[in-house]
Chains A and B, each alone.
Chain A
Amino acid sequence: MMGNEKKKINLTIDGIQVEAHEGEMVLEAARRAGIDIPTLCYHPAVGPIGSCRVCVVEIENGRGLPASCVTPVREGMVVRTNTEAVREARRTVVELILASHPQDCLQCERNGKCELQELAMRLGIRESRFHREKEHRESDTSSVALVRDPEKCILCGRCVKMCSETQTVGALGFAYRGTDALVTPMFERGLAESKCVSCGQCAKICPVGAIHEKEEWQKVADMISDPDLHVVVQVAPAVRAAIGEEFGIPAGTPVTGKLATALKRLGFDAVFDTQFTADLTIMEEGTELLERMKTKGPLPLVTSCSPGWIRYAETFHPEFIPNISSCKSPQQMMGAVIKTYYADKAGIDPDKIASISVMPCTAKKFECARPEMNGSGRRDVDVVLTTRELARMIRQAGIRFEELPDGEFDAPLGISTGAATIFGVTGGVMEAALRTVYEIVMKKPLGKVEFLQVRGMDGIKEATIDLGGTKVRVAVAHGLSNASKLLKHIKETGETYHFIEVMACPGGCIMGGGQPRSVDSDIAVKRAAALYTEDRSMEMRKSHENPAVARLYEEFLQKPGSDIAHKLLHTTYESVDEAAAASRKEAM
């Protein structure tokens, strides 16, 4: 529509004529024109904040040096981004940050991949003219998923904006004033005591080492070295869409074969694919959906693969708990299957199996530690590593990932379909479910496998699928603010949906809190493309076509929704407030 088109604005940046649109910021216009103004607090995932003042520029006839990330373009504006005054201001600002920043870079999780380090290097800062003592603050290690190190925090505000606006969790906020200012959960308590859902989006966009996943890869390396342990690994779909970035491979390049090879070279005894249990999830969840549609309730059925979303629902929307699918996430299904079916088949004592998973996610660390995740009679998954941790392990082992030949996952738990691959992107679980449900209900093959209505990066997507006269209404939300918006909409309008997919992270698992950090604004689209490309290239693209899953049912689980399937593959949820009240009662 013409009416929606934004007004064009012409301005000059460093002598270059630039066309921008109304409302655009100088920084964005400059970057499009090939001028890379340095930034620190700015991140495409949360937009401008305006706190670090590194991106300052000179504007003709303007006052002071405004921050270009929050200065809207104006017609005829003349901007200079590289004058003496600008350079001096940027240097001073970065030196001021460094004045109180710990200088223990060598021991920092972010060493070599730190935005502050890079910036200082880029601005040619070898030492800071300033120094100020900072009050010592202990790290917060209370969470099983995330570690906060307030001493390293530069107060850029990215995490606060992400947590409160994009995720509407609000576990992190600012406290105190002046140099006492602090990013912290309320009352300076530990993250574990806060409403944090462990989604890790804060850790993914922290420019420095102030928030990161709880690192456990050393523990896994030790397990591999233990001859008494049979160490099994599973790897989630989204990992293959991004881990290549850690080794300089362009974003969007699928590296599934290299990933399988790398895991084998690291010494894992068996290398499985979480996609196998993604297919299994579709069988269980699809059955659950069809049953709920038959018995009228409770609908909509809401997906349960994303542990950040589960925790969010338990914390902020317990009224929707009856709607959430009882299916465990693919990670936990795999854990339960490994220590029962696989242990039995391979003739290994399940107590001697160490079950490791590699996830794009920090909430998975929280999930595997939930007390009820012991369907096999013991911890179903022992350790969860993030994509970033795995990359660290690979580097430490001296494996040149980018040069690896393609390998394959081990059978039978490494066999999967294209439907499982797209689990890693928003809309993917929905699309996978629809592929299977359609064929089961209609008893005929799908003409076109893709359901494009549920693809893309719109925050909330809706579609209506005609299943032989039954109109199935579905919706997809990613990012917790969108999930919250959708749930509020349902509560307020009573609009009926049959099936809803929610992923906690904006973009889905490909943008999970454990994924490689990136400041590329198109990163989600690139990673999604990797998964969709892989899906297209697969022979089997529907979960119910997975022969290994079929065999699992034949040999062990009987049929979807059976008693043993329920024991191993399904779970329950609990309102956080009610759980807390119950435990208080118990303590009394």
Chain B
Amino acid sequence: MSPFIRAHILVCSGAGCVSSGCYEVYDSLMHALEDQGVLNEVKVIKTGCIGSCDLGPTVLIYPNGTFYQKVTPEDAREIVEEHIVKGRPVERLYPKRATGEMVKNISSLDFFKKQVKVVLRNCGVIDPENIHEYVARDGYEALAVALTDMTPKDVIDTIKQSGLRGRGGAGFPTGLKWEFAQRVNAEEKYVVCNADEGDPGAFMDRSVLEGDPHSIIEAMTIAGYAIGASQGYVYARAEYPLAVSRLTHAIKEAHEFGVLGENLFGSGFSFDLDIRVGAGAFVCGEETALLASMEGKRGMPRPRPPFPANEGLFKKPTLINNVETYANIAPIILKGPDWFRSIGTEKSPGTKVFALAGKINNTGLVEVPMGTTLREIVYEIGGGIPDGKAFKAAQTGGPSGGCIPESLLDISMEYDTLTKAGAMMGSGGLICMDEDTCMVDIAKFFLQFTQDESCGKCVPCREGTKVMLDILTRITEGKGQPGDIETLESLAKTIKNTALCGLGQTAPNPVLSSIRYFRDEYEAHIDEKRCPGGVCKDLIRYEIDSTKCRGCSLCAKACPVQAIHPVASEAEVAKAAGGESGQKPKRKTYEIDNSECQKCGECMSVCRFDAVSRR
């Protein structure tokens, strides 16, 4: 071991950066360090997700916190040769602000400025495959405190006092859930972690499992102690192989360390943990479907009651929380409920991780105190909308949530305000939409998703969402009829009121909220057969203004279906008619044959003379 480490190089190894090649960057760093003979002075760590996924692969160097973006293996060699060996930062790899200004330090990057990291406290900081690093960041101290200084009731009281609410969607008070499970008298109970994160675009749970798996192991063990369970299961989606492999590794390490298994901390309490991998059904995020799937049955929800706290996995009392919820537990035990309540709002204490996606400059994971406004998230952290376009709406809560329009940009992002606005916290997906988005089309997209993922058990969800989807499809095809909006509203009401599980009950939300805030867009589609966002192909036409067209033929060459043909310009035709006979017009303009046009918009984007317009 080296006596002195002078620099740490953190290589983000979240799934996003893995896809963009961070492992190659890591290898290149290691080779370069070896070539330069400084391998024993510098420690290179593969960390979990740092959060700014659009900039990956990213490399963070301490001390100083120098942040390099979009690093290639060649860049990595340069970083070692220049930054590590010669002390000269590689400035061209700094992230840049929209103004072009370079940001050399991670803490001055706008994306990170407003963030408060509780859940993601270790993500992007430690090596998730090294338990020592977790322990060095106070890991397993909360478990030790709980097991040696606290009674199960103390633990539950602490969680209750913290006001922590379930991060999986509905925001049920976590402490209360623990208390219900604790109160049931049973020899066998289970603790389950719901890691079946399925909302399109949301990946905070994956990041925690990949970047800080021990935080989940620790929290579930504490939960086991609190409710009187000695076995836990993590139900992870099959689409998260990296998370599963890191968690598997972490469980093994925890066993070797004696923080998982028999007689923990000499307390007499034993706890073990296993992983169950799902089979790719969104509905298995619903807790009763999840339990059915864990039991080896088809993932179909069942009516509640009985609630899992009374009759859960294999009919035994079962506590189910999601990954992000568990990630809050250890800090609450260590720092106390008052500390937790000092973050966020009164009704929604703590932080929330959002997955920024869609039409926004900085995409990735951000953790902010509850109550942060949407405006702060979109503009200050997210860096606003690309290409100077206008913000139109943001979808929160994925397919179960709704949209928040521009007029509500100052909404406080917490459970109850979002619900009141017709949206939902959900798991924290936040998809931004700009002026070029069609809200009917968006509603259709989400409904298509829930319809595909409906388990098919109850009529309102299976049949109702399909009928709604058919109506929306008609509307976007220009076949909308008067009364469609009312039918959609009435169906939505019935589905919300009568569907069996959360998936069905929330499925109409995207439609209802888009009707609530963008009714005029629906009306434009139905009454005027017009798509204001310019998205619905059957409702838009591309045309070439012959007075602006210079006949350069770029559009005709770009058209993938050869729908653009040359015609003689009016001026030339007139000239030919009035002038010498037999003379062909020399200059041509172009015209789009709308019967062949696929509405891809390629012609508009290649035209240099602004001659192509969309109507």
Interface residues of A (CB under 8 A from B): 48, 50-54, 56, 64-65, 67, 70-72, 85, 88-89, 92-93, 96-97, 99-100, 129-130, 132, 154-155, 157, 173-174, 176-181
By a CB distance below 8 angstroms, the chain A residues around B454 are: 177-179, 181
By a CB distance below 8 angstroms, the chain B residues around A174 are: 298, 300, 455-457
The listed residue (B300, B466, B487) touching A178 by CB distance below 8 A is: B466
Question: Please, could you name 7 A-B residue pairs with CB atoms under 8 Å apart, sorted by A?
Answer: A64-B496, A93-B494, A96-B464, A100-B463, A132-B467, A174-B300, A178-B452
Verify B456–A64 contact, CB threshold 8 A. Answer: no
Residue of B nearest to A90 (CB): B498
Verify B459–A85 contact, CB threshold 8 A. Answer: no
Verify A64–B505 contact, CB threshold 8 A. Answer: yes
Report the separation of the CA atoms of residues A123 and B455 in the bound assembly, to the nearest whole angstrom.
Answer: 27
By a CB distance below 8 angstroms, the chain B residues around A180 are: 456
Report the separation of the CA atoms of residues A132 and B474 in the bound assembly, to the nearest whole angstrom.
Answer: 12
- Contact A96:B298 (CB < 8 A) given known A52-B458, A65-B497, A177-B453: no
- Contact A181:B462 (CB < 8 A) given known A157-B457, A173-B298, A174-B456: yes
5 tightest A-B CB contacts, nearest first: A181-B456, A70-B303, A96-B463, A50-B303, A64-B497
By a CB distance below 8 angstroms, the chain A residues around B452 are: 177-178
Verify B281–A51 contact, CB threshold 8 A. Answer: no
Verify A129–B487 contact, CB threshold 8 A. Answer: yes
Report the separation of the CA atoms of residues A52 and B463 in the bound assembly, to the nearest whole angstrom.
Answer: 11
Residue of B nearest to A183 (CB): B456
Report the separation of the CA atoms of residues A71 and B498 in the bound assembly, to the nearest whole angstrom.
Answer: 13
Report the separation of the CA atoms of residues A65 and B490 in the bound assembly, to the nearest whole angstrom.
Answer: 14
Q: Please, what's the 1-or-0 string for B107-139, where 1 marks a CB less than 8 Å from any CB in chain A?
A: 000000000000000000000000000000000
Verify B453–A51 contact, CB threshold 8 A. Answer: no
Please report which residues of chain B, range 464-485, place their CB below 8 angstroms from some CB of chain A when the two chains form the complex.
Answer: 464-467, 470
Distance to closest chain A CB from B278 (angstroms):
14
The secondary structure that dominates the B interface is helix
Verify A51–B457 contact, CB threshold 8 A. Answer: yes
Number of B residues near A (Cβ < 8 Å) is 34
Verify A155–B456 contact, CB threshold 8 A. Answer: yes
By a CB distance below 8 angstroms, the chain A residues around B462 are: 155, 178-179, 181
By a CB distance below 8 angstroms, the chain A residues around B281 are: 177
Beyond the given A96-B463, A129-B487, please list 9 additional residue pairs across the A-B interface where CB-CB is below 8 A: A53-B458, A67-B500, A85-B497, A88-B494, A93-B459, A97-B463, A99-B467, A155-B456, A179-B466
B302 interface hit (Cβ, 8 Å): yes
Verify A53–B500 contact, CB threshold 8 A. Answer: yes
By a CB distance below 8 angstroms, the chain A residues around B300 are: 174
By a CB distance below 8 angstroms, the chain B residues around A157 are: 457
By a CB distance below 8 angstroms, the chain A residues around B303 are: 48, 50, 67, 70-71
A48, A154, A180, most chain B CB atoms within 10 A? A180
Verify B451–A179 contact, CB threshold 8 A. Answer: yes
Report the separation of the CA atoms of residues A54 and B459 in the bound assembly, to the nearest whole angstrom.
Answer: 9
Report the separation of the CA atoms of residues A97 and B470 in the bound assembly, to the nearest whole angstrom.
Answer: 15
The listed residue (A89, A93, A181) touching B455 by CB distance below 8 A is: A181
B213 interface hit (Cβ, 8 Å): no
Report the separation of the CA atoms of residues A56 and B283 in the bound assembly, to the nearest whole angstrom.
Answer: 23
B499 interface hit (Cβ, 8 Å): yes
A89, A173, A179, A180, most chain B CB atoms within 10 A? A179
B87 interface hit (Cβ, 8 Å): no
By a CB distance below 8 angstroms, the chain B residues around A64 are: 496-498, 505
Distance to closest chain A CB from B465 (angstroms):
8
Report the separation of the CA atoms of residues A179 and B302 in the bound assembly, to the nearest whole angstrom.
Answer: 19
Report the separation of the CA atoms of residues A180 and B455 in the bound assembly, to the nearest whole angstrom.
Answer: 9
The listed residue (B305, B459, B494) touching A97 by CB distance below 8 A is: B459
By a CB distance below 8 angstroms, the chain B residues around A178 are: 451-454, 456, 462, 465-466
By a CB distance below 8 angstroms, the chain A residues around B497 are: 56, 64-65, 85, 89
Report the separation of the CA atoms of residues A88 and B491 in the bound assembly, to the nearest whole angstrom.
Answer: 10
Report the separation of the CA atoms of residues A532 and B82 in the bound assembly, to the nearest whole angstrom.
Answer: 99
B456, B458, B464, most chain A CB atoms within 10 A? B456
- Contact A155:B457 (CB < 8 A) given known A89-B498, A177-B281: yes
By a CB distance below 8 angstroms, the chain B residues around A96 are: 459-460, 463-464, 467
Distance to closest chain B CB from A160 (angstroms):
10
By a CB distance below 8 angstroms, the chain A residues around B505 are: 64
Report the separation of the CA atoms of residues A54 and B498 in the bound assembly, to the nearest whole angstrom.
Answer: 9
Distance to closest chain A CB from B287 (angstroms):
16
Report the separation of the CA atoms of residues A107 and B467 in the bound assembly, to the nearest whole angstrom.
Answer: 26
Report the separation of the CA atoms of residues A289 and B549 in the bound assembly, to the nearest whole angstrom.
Answer: 101
Distance to closest chain A CB from B600 (angstroms):
29
Residue of B nearest to A157 (CB): B457
Q: Please, what's the 1-or-0 string for B176-193, where 1 marks a CB less than 8 Å from any CB in chain A?
A: 000000000000000000
Verify A52–B451 contact, CB threshold 8 A. Answer: no
Verify A176–B456 contact, CB threshold 8 A. Answer: yes
Distance to closest chain B CB from A49 (angstroms):
8
Report the separation of the CA atoms of residues A100 and B467 in the bound assembly, to the nearest whole angstrom.
Answer: 10
By a CB distance below 8 angstroms, the chain B residues around A92 are: 460, 464, 490-491, 494
Distance to closest chain B CB from A133 (angstroms):
9
Residue of A nearest to B298 (CB): A174
The listed residue (A67, A71, A89, A179) touching B456 by CB distance below 8 A is: A179
Q: Please, what's the 1-or-0 string for B570-610, where 1 marks a CB less than 8 Å from any CB in chain A?
A: 00000000000000000000000000000000000000000
Please report which residues of chain B, range 511-536, place their CB below 8 angstroms from some CB of chain A when the two chains form the complex.
Answer: none
Report the separation of the CA atoms of residues A99 and B498 in the bound assembly, to the nearest whole angstrom.
Answer: 18
Report the separation of the CA atoms of residues A146 and B298 in the bound assembly, to the nearest whole angstrom.
Answer: 25
Verify A179–B463 contact, CB threshold 8 A. Answer: yes
Residue of B nearest to A96 (CB): B463
Distance to closest chain B CB from A26 (angstroms):
12
Distance to closest chain A CB from B450 (angstroms):
8
A53, A54, A85, A181, most chain B CB atoms within 10 A? A53
- Contact A177:B487 (CB < 8 A) given known A51-B500, A89-B494: no
